[in-house]
Each structure stands twice: as structure tokens, then as C-alpha cells.
Structure 1
């Protein structure tokens, strides 16, 4: 390497002039004819000056912030879900099985109690679902949160099916009893049975839904980051804007969907939920509460659809019932001297 006699910069051996000041490398220092380096020219960075090179921006963990942790009480809800997931099937088995034994003892066929057996297996499936959701909340995991949010729909559907199966059992028992005792002067007995255990899983499902939509749980589920002593990375450098507010009609829609009052509250909840979604969508990020609005819409829709199905079944049954009575009427009118009275009482 050849050092320049004027500026001292080292040059390759094959250079005749300095790569910085263009001075001849074989000329003595201070000789005439050497061109001075322009004052605005910055020193050339060489391999001997590593500290002068620009450094890339740092991306340490502190600058990126840390993830919002899951609330501690979420694991408590997971333990409670596991306990209920085990308790619901057991309670339904003991309560419903007692009614099945009463029907069998009175001489009814297995076809009469088949809907009650379906209720027992249905409660077992609901319990397994809740058990898995509770294990997910123990993690905690995001799929456990989603399963907990969907549990209210499964619980409502299960309660409606259990109620319908109880009615089917009652109708089938009345038909079988009437067929066996149609020539009896007087026949009456009393059976008290449960179509399902006196537990209300939809209530616990509503609690899971509300807790899963709380802001701390949503921030954890979305992977939000926070920086100690400063704004979050997503908020740093963002233009100042008005704070995000919760759209209160969305919350009201979810609350109304869980209040039973002649289905009026469910209809109002459905309308308010749809209107809240439209308002939040047009707010350009200034309003939040989309999860609450969807919860109100889903719960109200499930209740309205299930109750509509029950009403439809009742209407069809009422339309068919007169024909069944007409078919049996000649049996009672064949001998008007004997009055035959049959009484059947079922309590579920």
C-alpha cells in the first residue's frame, strides 16, 4: 500500500495518483501542482474506520414491546368449565334415568323412553364439548376461547331438543296408555319425570360469551403488544385521532338476547345488533363492539329459530289431533250405556 504524501490516505500499489486528492504518489509533500481536496468533500471511509460506518436501526425486544398476557381468571373459568363438563352428563343421567325407570315399571315400552335416552346421550356430548373448551382455557389457548364463545349456541340447541324430546315422550306414553286401557271403566296414574336435569347450561354459556368478549381477553387473543412507558408500536408515529369508544347499542343487543320476555327482547336484540354492525362499519375505526353485536345476533337468531320450530310442531300437532280423535270415537260411541273415563297425568 502506498501512502499519499499530502493527505496520508493509503492507496493500492498500482495507483499513480491519490484516490482522494489526486496528488502524485511519488511527489514530496507540499510540492507545487498538487490539487487541494475540495472542502466540501467528506473523508473517505476506509476499513480502518469501522466506527464511522452507519449502524442499522436496532430491533430489540424492548422497542417492540411485549404481548398482552392472558388474564389469570381465564384459567379459573377453565377449571369451572371442566367441572361442569363432567357434572352435566352425570346429573342428567341420574335425573332422566329415574324417569325412565318409572315408565318401565308402569309397563311402558322401550319406544316411549327412547327420547329420554337421546337426552342422556345429548347431555354427554355437550359435557364433552365443555370439557374440551375448559382444557383450552387452562392453556390458555385461542381455540379454547372460541369454543367457549360457541358453547351458548350448543347449550340452547341442547335445551330445546331436550324439551321437545320430553314432550314426545309424554305424547307417546298417552297414546300407548290409551291404546292399552281403551275398554277400562276408569284408569289413572301419575308419573313425574325429568326430561333433563334442572341445570341451565345456556346461562353458563352466556357467562362464557360475555367473559370472552371483555377487552383484556380480546387484546390477548389478537396478540396486541404494549411498550413499557410509551405507546404501542402500532400507535407510534400514527397521527393523533379521537379515542376508540364502545358502541353501547352493541352491548345492549347482547344483553337483551339473553332476557326471556315473550321473544320480544330477542326481536329487538336482533334489530339492534344488525344496526350496531352497520354503525360500527361506517365509523372508520372510531367505534368498537362488533363482537357484542354478533353475540346478540347469534343468540337471538338461535332462540327465535328454536322457538319457531317448537311453535310449528305444536301447530302441526294441533291440526293432526282432531283426526286421531275421530278415528277412536266409534270405540267410545259403540256402547253409550257405559261411560268410560280415562285420565292420564304426566309432570315433566
Structure 2
């Protein structure tokens, strides 16, 4: 394999070939400098050298020639400095920056993106009486005003649907009053007025009700009261949530979902009001969704709360249950007293006294006893 080495040596030294000296890419930096080989001494012939420059993402790269002294020629045919962005030539320079001869780089060059490629090429001609020393240049990061850029061509719409704020190296989106930023951090949606509701009574409505609901809604409402209370929902106003079936059973695109612990969620749509929904729970979640098309006029709901109730304990033979109330609520208690000549018996054993408390689960904590002779 020793015959390879003379060929490589020939390619590098033969007068008809250019010497290619590749350069590695520079790591992203906010600024930097570059010079032609041997600068400020005269450069050699038969060179083809490249620099790959980059600044951090979110910035544009601006290149400025501090000094340019490259052999001038028509269209910079012999020696040249070429500046490229990807496959696009941004400029080809030769001569001196302040001379009428040649094509000097007098103005800064702004890259469309955050990187540039600089190519320095010299031909194989021998140096004349004037030896040219090449170039020195400076590059720096220029902040991109993303907010002033045209909309992307990918159909995704503007960078920000409402308000765009340019920041150093990036941008931020915000929304007008009454709207909130979606998780994509670009688009805005109407503030649903959702959240957690702990009051014992209240009114909830769809956004803009009684006007039609905006499209693209994803609203959540959570009613959560003290565990000693249960919530009752009452849909009082006109109800209309778009459905795709005549029987109001196809709630595919728009829906209001009511979720109660330990029960199957109820997905509601159509124009028939759900009316009154006793939840028997202190916690209820509602989720209102509309997609990007269709029409829903919305809904209005009044919720109330009631203390947890226990069923009436009933009566007992040869005895009396006190107090006698029309309703028994959480923490109410009862006593049982037997008639004269009868004994209090519970689970087959005599007891001296009896009382029971209405628990938070709606059950009496001890069953009724018996009065036996």
C-alpha cells in the first residue's frame, strides 16, 4: 500500500491543485473573530479554507470585515472571500474595503439564521509586486425580533395568537384581559371562570352565556364543600350543547361532563335540560368542551348544598325514640327509652342506656335496640 503516499503528496504540492485546509465548526458564541492564514502577513496561493460560524439559537449572526486586502479581479474570479448561508451566497468579496477596484465588504452581512460559512479561496498564480495580506473579520450575535417576523409557512398561524413580546434570544406570548394562555404557550382561550368552588351555594355558567359559547373551550369547574354537606345541581336556564345525534346521545364534539365520585361520569349534550341532579356527594367536577367548529348556546346551573341526612330511625315497640324530628342530619342523635316493665336489649344482651348519632356517611352509628319484657 506504500504507493498511496506519493499520490497524496502529489495532490498537495502539484502546482495545478489547490491546497484545501478544512476548519472545524466554531461552538456557538455571542461574538468572535476570524482571520485569513498568516494574517497580517501575505497569504499563500492555492488555498481553499472554510470557517463554520454560529451563535446561539434565537439570534442572527452578523459578520463585519475589519480589514480586507484580497487580490482584485472581475467577479472575484481568482482570489475571493465568499460568505454563504446554507446553499445561498450572501456575498463574494475581493479587493480592498475602501478601494474602487474589486468588491470590498464595506457593509455588515446579516445571516438569515444563527450560522454562516466563510470560504477563502486563492488561485495558483504567483504573487506580484503587491502582496495581499488577506482579511480579518468580526462576528456577533444579533437578537432576532421574532414578533416582527411573518407567519410561518406551515399553517400553524402566528407565533402568538394575541400579544407577542420580544425577549433576548427568544419571545413570549401573552393574552388580553379575559383570556388565558393555552399549554402550547402560543394561543389564547377565553377564561372559563373555572376553578374550585367551596361556597355552599353558587351559580355557574358557560363562558359568555346566554351568548353562544366560544369554540376551542376546555373548562373545568370543581365544587368541593365540607364533607358534612351534599351538593345538588339544578340547571335552571335554557340548555344547549351541540350533539351529533337526534337522540342527544352523540356527544362527540361538544359536551358537558358531570363527574361524581364512585359513579359513572355523565356526558351531557343536546337541548334537553338535565334539570335537578342530586349528587349525594360533597365533591362534583364539571368539564365543558367545545371543538373548533359547531354551535353551542351553553348552560346555566345553580348549585345548593344540604347537610348529610340519615333516614328516620322509625319506631320501636314498647318504647319511645326521642327526639322525634321531621329530618335527621349529620351529628343529630337519638335516645331510646323502654316502657315500664321492659328492658333495653341489643344483640341479645341487656344494656343500661342507648343513644345513636347520625354519621357523615348518612348512617346511624348503632342500630335500634329492642324493648323486651
Quick check: TM above 0.5? no
Higher normalized contact order (CA 8 Å, seq sep 6+, divided by chain length)? 1
Q: Answer with 1 or 2: which has the greater Rg.
A: 2
Structure 1 or 2: larger helix share?
Answer: 1
TM-score, length-scaled by structure 1: 0.20
Structure 1 or 2: larger strand share?
Answer: 2
